Structure 1
């Protein structure tokens, strides 16, 4: 009985409360977004389905929390292999929508394997880096290079399999996970400088190919991806076409001004001007109806969520747990930055949902499992006067 009380006392109730706030914001935003003219169903239809996803996600979060995270090491390789096989299945048998082949049909629902591959990759890289940490207490620059190569060997296969779907947004999330976990591993800044130079060089080469050898360039960048880039760089050049969605989102958010127009009172949000407003562009609803103040509150909630995660990562005396939390941070931070950035014109448009806010199943379940892993690490780290010791 005492053990159960101690376990419950170790729960990070601040993190759970922040997650609850995000759930409430999500249901309000989805209800309002579903009133747009582009949808033929009642607004409550999407809300009821999202509640179901939240319930399922909460169950999965609890499941990921109660199992000792140290046992995850036993499933690392099987889950990673399952993830790669599922991505191959998408490549050969997947369902194509809007120019991308990302889904597998499961009954009447669509299942997106790349979402769960994010979790599998976090588990795989955490285990790999934990073993490396045990092997090398102090690493030289050469040994750091070996660590990076091992991480790339694990992370690049799912990265490229997702990239060719094509799904640049999720592929960049994979890259974010690798980068965050390498940062947690204490890799030399010189290596990060080299990696940054390589990435910059690749982008420069792509720009050069676009300007001089477009036929070769088109083999790497699909036409619909290029259209998104054109629409992002100069939306006013084609306001009725490539820039239509972005300009609608920017105008909607801007019209909210300081306090917003009020719940369900958004004009552009209801006009159908912004496609996929209940999923990828749901931040437009928040910006227009709740204004700068409402958008700021949402961002502050996200900031506090990550602040709690960072504390958990550095409080854990087990490096495996710290790597797990770092991977989850990398998984979520980029998605939030990218989604909000694309609605205000800072980033190109991708198909990334806003974590815990956008309507949808696969992404929400993945994020809930990720939070369960963070809570798992937290409840098994006990604090003592002269240090910390992992709970058995």
Structure 2
């Protein structure tokens, strides 16, 4: 990844993928600059904006005005908010709307919203006319630091999370940090789990900084901008080296194998937001690592303590309505995208900043761990 100078107040990073390289811009009020930024790259393109109703009510008029000022004709496609929109039915509706809007290969799909919209709109863009380009305009912390960067797009299956999709890189990411001021506190906390993840993977100093300064990140200002930039820098570097997750990019799934199983167990109902599931999954990944003797129990406790301090769930008894039987979780884990010829793969850790890809993890060991977690949850007060 390289940096390029920019005349604006936005911070600019580059995802280096040869002919498919693109910029990530991070800063306030980039929604209002979206027309100029896109027109500079794709003058005269026809645009289709995909947004959920909540985000549309907040930002659609502003981004449409920016596009009109840049002489970029735009059509809006609205969907319902929430994980339920990452479905075959909504995907079909978006694809048909893009075709109806006469979006062609020289045009652009604009994903305006959080991770659900980025995944859905990006996947739709990847298949319409065998692939049209798209722009990510992430409006949540989770999407700004994680899902908008790297080209993973997709929808959910009845069998599990993100099992249907494609790698399809955006041509531009505009992370408007001012949009985070409208996020509900629960949504911001959920996104923070993905920020902490980058420290837990391979940057112990960043995690220690977050332990000390997380309140400033939540409050906004320079600390928040720094945390978002550090996260995007880390992800862009990994994606640049391993675009299609053949090696180290799998590290970005720390907490996700457990987390996706928990999301499926709650029926993608909103009882457990994605970032909350990742937080709980990361706590479990470190506890499982400690159980296997890979790291000290004190390390797992440190991770749990920080996530709990910011208000994220770390134990199964904190999931409203429960997560069902262990066999259901194991079935979901068996459908994880990292499974290879039936062998379970987890991201485990030898310490804070010491995550690694563990292949061929024994299913019996995972099941025994989850049974212990479940027994503890049943014995503990909610």
Structure of greater Rg: 1
Q: Which has the higher helix share?
A: 1
> In which range does the TM-score fall when normalised by the shorter chain?
under 0.3
TM-score (norm 1): 0.22
Structure number with the bigger relative contact order (C-alpha 8 A, sep ≥ 6) is 1
